[in-house]
Chain A
Amino acid sequence: MFEFCADPASLAGIEWLSCYLTTGKHMGLYWAVGTVLLLLAITAPAALLFGFGGAAAARSHFRPLSWFGKGYIAIVRGVPDIAFFLFFVIALDQGFEWIRHQIKCPDWDQPIRQGNDFIVCAAAKLPLSSSPQVYHEVYGFFLAVLTFALVFGAFAANVLYGAMRAVPHAQMETAEAYGMSHRQAFWRIMVPQMWVYALPGLSNLWMVLIKATPLLFLLGVEDIVYWARELGGMKTPQFTDYPHADWRVWYFLALLVFYLAFTHVSEIVLARISRRLSHGQATLAGEKLRKGPRGRGKAAA
């Protein structure tokens, strides 16, 4: 990258390191950090949306819908989440291909499951075997995002379901006394108030989501774990200009520090949001804010 990097063998110390850390492969690692952030940026709102849908379904008066919502919430408890990750990636992939197969090749007469193989017609393959490599990567990433959103959506549904029930019932009754319909009361009274009750659970979930991002590696995405293993392994002079011993322990130490910093910053930001949301709420935290620091002594007494 830098001009003095032309002949790595002659470099030493900090110059060598600065060249080493800016090789093309290391750029892959830095891009992978971006992948992780992108995953978080897409998954968090998607999971919240799934969670909202799940919680609303679980509250529904229509029985089958309520069973579906409750089932969705319940199924992720009791089973290791990593099993879900491994399961959903294959299951979703096969599900999509099966649907496309039904639409695109209606006159296909062979069974789809032949012994140990899952065979759909060539036109139903996702992505098409003729499409460029980047499509395969995007599709893999898309599957990973969908899997994360499904699993975390169930967690979020659980949190939001609890938060909806935590909104004081009198608020809903008052809304109905004012002549609001169920739907209006739900959107205008419950939804704006539930966030303060949901925030502790959602903050926890965000931390859990951050800590789940290395699992991308298991889903076949070239994420930071992949690159740390790849770059850290022993390099001999035949194959690279920057030979080194097995440095994987240092790469994983760097990842450890990266995640610690990330969760720590998140903690600080979430504490701020919680403070902001508590403003004017009829909760202990809101009361504390109202009274200010002088009132705190009185409250404790």
Chain B
Amino acid sequence: MSCWDTIADYALRSQGIGERLLPRSDFTLCQQFTLIGSGMIWNIYFGVLALVSGFMLATGVAVAKAHHQLWLRKPAEWFIFVFRGSPLFIQFFFAYFLFQSLKAGYPFFGAFTAAWLGALLVLFLNTAAYSAEIFYGALMSVPKGDVEAADAYGMSGWPRFRRVIWPTMLRLAWPAYTNEAIFLFHATTLVFFSGFPASQQRGDALYYASYFADKTFNPFIPYPILAFYFILLTLTVIGLFGLVNKRLNHHLPKERRAKIRLRVNLIR
């Protein structure tokens, strides 16, 4: 069986397309590369959707936290505290069992006990909280002069926020937000190791990597393959976010542009 056959059989295995049974013995390098790569589809799915949706909620929460009215500020602070103060691992477990007990009463929640929706919801709220804290910090350091200049031009309310405050906030937050994006992708590996089950062995990259490590009792092949994929993903994220960073900074003289620097790892 050539490597192309293996790719044809297993490239979409994580989505339930292709060969039904996972390989059981005589594992080839090709099988490991293909299956772990197939699992990456889930990591990218969770990461991209949580990031995009979390970005919007995070902007809202950050603005709410900076608001002077208590009834807006307090919920935002609590939201951030709860999701940043507890481990993501426990959040996954809690959410899974919560949806399970809700399912008994309301069948509507049935879909949430599956990883594709339930875990996505947790990741969405989690990244929203972490990003909101970053955005809040950036919002607090928007230069006073920029806002005063907007006032002088007669801008206020929504136009001032959309055209002056928000772009500046994003520009200031972007390097930190890039790191958040990277570690969100890393956090997606937790999904199938918490409460959420992988139905019919459709798992993410780490799920397959640990499958191989368990079967072969040799961690030195699958985990480096996983590391290879994730380094590739990290570089892609840095590249894409770097483009956005360039766009956000393009009005500034060169030496004042903020560089993206990879910061120390964060487990949630």
Contact call B230/A80, Cβ cutoff below 8 A:
yes
Size of the chain B interface, CB-CB below 8 angstroms: 47
Asked if B90 and A256 sit within 8 Å, CB to CB, the answer is yes
Whether a CB of chain A sits under 8 angstroms from the CB of B209 is yes
User: Contact mask B228-250 → A, CB, 8 Å, 1/0?
Assistant: 00110011000000000000000
* A221 nearest CB across to chain B (Å): 14
Residue of A nearest to B230 (CB): A79
The CB with the most chain B CB atoms within 10 A, among A86, A215, A264, is that of A86
For chain A, the bracket of interface size reads: 35 or more
CB distance from B119 to the nearest CB of A (A): 14
Contact of B218 among A83, A86, A113 (CB under 8 A): A113
Q: Smallest CB–CB gap between B23 and chain A, Å?
A: 12
Q: Which residues of A from 45 to 93 have beta carbons under 8 Å from B?
A: 76-83, 86-87, 90-91
Kindly provide the distance from the CB of A34 to the nearest chain B CB, expressed in whole angstroms: 18
- Cross-interface CB contact of A260 among B86, B93, B189, B235, cutoff 8 Å: B86
A116 near B219: Cβ-Cβ < 8 Å: no
A75 to chain B, nearest CB (A): 9
B82 CB–A CB distance under 8 Å: yes
Residue in A80, A87, A217, A246 whose beta carbon sits within 8 Å of that of B100 in the complex: A246
* Inter-chain contact B206/A214, CB cutoff 8 Å: no
Contacts of B41 in A (CB 8 A): none
Question: A256's contact among B91, B101, B231, by CB below 8 Å, is which?
Answer: B91
Q: Tell me the total A-B contact number using a CB cutoff of 8 A.
A: 134
The SS class assigned to the B binding surface is helix
Contact yes or no, B265 A77, CB < 8 A: yes
Main secondary structure of the interface of A (DSSP, over half): helix
Q: Does B215 contact A (CB under 8 A)?
A: yes
User: Do residues B87 and A212 form an inter-chain contact, with CB atoms below 8 A?
Assistant: yes
**What's the least CB distance linking B211 to chain A, in Å?**
11
**Least Cβ distance of A101 to chain B in Å?**
15
| CB-CB under 8 A for A82 and B190, given A213-B87, A260-B82 | yes
Q: In the complex the two chains form, is A81's CB within 8 Å of B90's CB?
A: no
Task: Pick from B98, B186, B213: contact of A249, CB below 8 A.
Answer: B98
A-B contact pairs, 15 of them (CB 8 A): A77-B264, A79-B226, A81-B267, A83-B206, A155-B265, A204-B264, A208-B267, A214-B90, A215-B89, A246-B101, A252-B90, A252-B97, A256-B82, A256-B91, A259-B85
Task: Give the interface of B toward A (CB within 8 A).
Answer: 25, 27, 81-82, 85-91, 93-94, 97-98, 100-101, 182, 185-187, 189-190, 193, 206, 209-210, 213, 215-220, 223, 226-227, 230-231, 234-235, 262, 264-268
Extra pairs beyond A90-B213, A228-B93, A248-B97 (13, CB < 8 Å): A77-B264, A78-B262, A79-B231, A82-B206, A83-B209, A116-B216, A118-B218, A155-B264, A159-B264, A201-B264, A212-B87, A225-B90, A255-B94
Where the two chains meet, the residues of A that have a C-beta atom closer than 8 Å to any C-beta of B are: 76-83, 86-87, 90-91, 94, 113, 116-118, 155, 158-159, 201, 204-205, 208, 210-215, 217-218, 225, 228-229, 232, 246, 248-249, 252-253, 255-256, 259-260, 263-264
